[in-house]
Amino acid sequence: MFNSAYFGRLLWSCGLAVLVAASAHLWIAERQRVIQAVYPVEAWYTASQIRCSETAPRWLEQLLAYAINKRGSLANQVAYISPSGILHHCESGWIGGTLTSPAVEVDTRFRFASLTKLMTADTVLNEIAEGRLALDQRLVDLLPEIEPNDPRVANITINHLLRHRAGFDRLKTPDVMFTHRLKPWCPYDVEALSNIKLDFDPGTKSSYSNIGYCLLGVVLERVTGKPYRTLMEEHYSLRDRGMRFIDGPYWPDEVRYDFRNSSFYVENYYRFFDFTALSSSAGLSGNATQLALTLKAMRERKPLDIFNANIEDCREAYSLDCYGFALKIYEEPSASLTLGVQQGALIGMAAAAVFDSRGGVTVWLGSGMPKTDREKEKNLYTTFYKLLTDTDN
C-alpha cells in the first residue's frame, strides 16, 4: 500500500541532503564567492552600528560608511584631531567575525602599513633640525660603501628620498621590498645599490618608493648609531602609545583582516615578505587615536614640519604625484583646502593619514580591501576633500 506520508518524508530528507551537500560543495569550492556575496548584508548591518565619541563631527561617521560600502572594510577606526586640539573618534565592526567576536574598540590594534613612513620622515627631519643631517646631503656620502655604476646614484640626496624623487620607479622595476619570497637587498646589503640602474634622474619627477624609505631607515641607523627599531622606540615612546613593530604574524590584540577580495594571498601572506626589512617603510602597528596624536605633534616641528614643506613646489608643477616630505599634496581647483595624504595598504587592509591646511589631522585604519580597482587612490582623496570642505568642522 502506498504510504504518502513516508514518501513525503523521504522526499524531504533527500531534498535536505541534496541542499546540504550542495551547500557544502559550494562552501568548499566557491568559498570566496560565497563570502563576497554576503558582504552587502554584513555591510548594511555594520554601517548601522558605527560608534562615535560624543561630540564627533558627522563626517567621521560618513567616512566609515564610505569605508564599509566602497572600500570593503567592515572593521575600522577613524580618529580626528581638530585644529583646536580636540580629539574625536569612531569605530565600526568586530575584531573577528561579524557578531561572533568583540567589537572594535579605540585601542584595537591595526597594521599601519605605509603610514609608518610618516614617522620615518619625521625622525629624519628631527635629525636635520639637530644638525646631524641635511636635506642636500648625498646618500653616497652617508653610505660610502656604495660605489655606483650608474653615476646618477651619486646624485641622490636626503631630500630626494623623503619626496620619492630618488629615481626608483616600481612601475618599471619591480619593488624588491614586496616581491614574493624574495629577500630584499635593503637594509641588509646597501652596497647592492652600486649595481642598480635608476629608472629616472633624481629630482626630475616623483614615483612612490618603498626602497627610498628603507634607505632612510639605514641612514638613521648610520647617523645615530642605533638600530632603527630602537631609535623609534626611544624617539616616540612606542610602547607607551600602544605601538609595536610587526614581525609578520598577528599580535593577540590585533584585528582580523578581511581577505575575501584578495585574488591570491590569504591570512598567511606575511610568510612571503620580510617584515624586518619593512620596518622603516611599513612595519608599525597600533590604533588610530594614538597615531593621530603622534602625527599632530609633527605639525609643531620647526623649521621643517612634515606637512607644510614643499607645498609651493607642488602647486607650481601640480600633479597627483607631487610629494612633500612623505605626504602627497592634494588640492582641487578651488584651492579652498590643501591636504597632505599618506596612504597605506597591505593584503586585507588599508589606511590613510590626512593633514589639512586648517590644522586638523585624521587617521583611518581599515581591515579590508576593495573588490575592484574602481576605488583607486584618487577616490580616497576626493572623498576626504569633500567631507572636509562640505562639513562644518
pLDDT in tens, 271-316: 999 999 999 999 999 999 999 999 999 988 778 888 876 677 777 6
Q: What is the pLDDT of residue 186?
A: 97
Alpha-carbon Rg of the chain, whole angstroms? 24
67: phi then psi, degrees, rounded to nearest 5: -60, -40
Q: How far apart are CA 270 and CA 266, in angstroms?
A: 9
pLDDT band per the 50, 70, 90 thresholds, residue 22: very low
The DSSP letter of residue 231 is H
pLDDT at 119 over 90: yes
Alpha helices in 226-345 (DSSP H): 228-236, 279-282, 288-298, 311-316
Q: What is the pLDDT of residue 60?
A: 98
pLDDT band per the 50, 70, 90 thresholds, residue 17: very low
Domains of the chain, with CATH numbers?
Answer: 58-390 (3.40.710.10)
Task: Output the CA angle 39-347-108, nearest 5 degrees.
Answer: 75
* Average pLDDT taken over every residue of the chain: 89
More confident site: 31 or 362: 362
pLDDT band per the 50, 70, 90 thresholds, residue 28: very low
pLDDT at 36 over 90: no
Q: Is the pTM of this model over 0.85?
A: yes
What's the sign of the alpha-carbon dihedral 323, 326, 332, 333? Answer: negative
Q: How far apart are CA 222 and CA 140, in angstroms?
A: 12
Q: What is the pLDDT of residue 377?
A: 56
Reported as a single tens digit per residue, the pLDDT across 236-263 is: 999 999 999 999 999 999 999 999 999 8
In the chain, which ranges are E strands? 51-52, 76-81, 87-92, 110-111, 244-245, 284-286, 328-331, 338-346, 349-356, 361-366
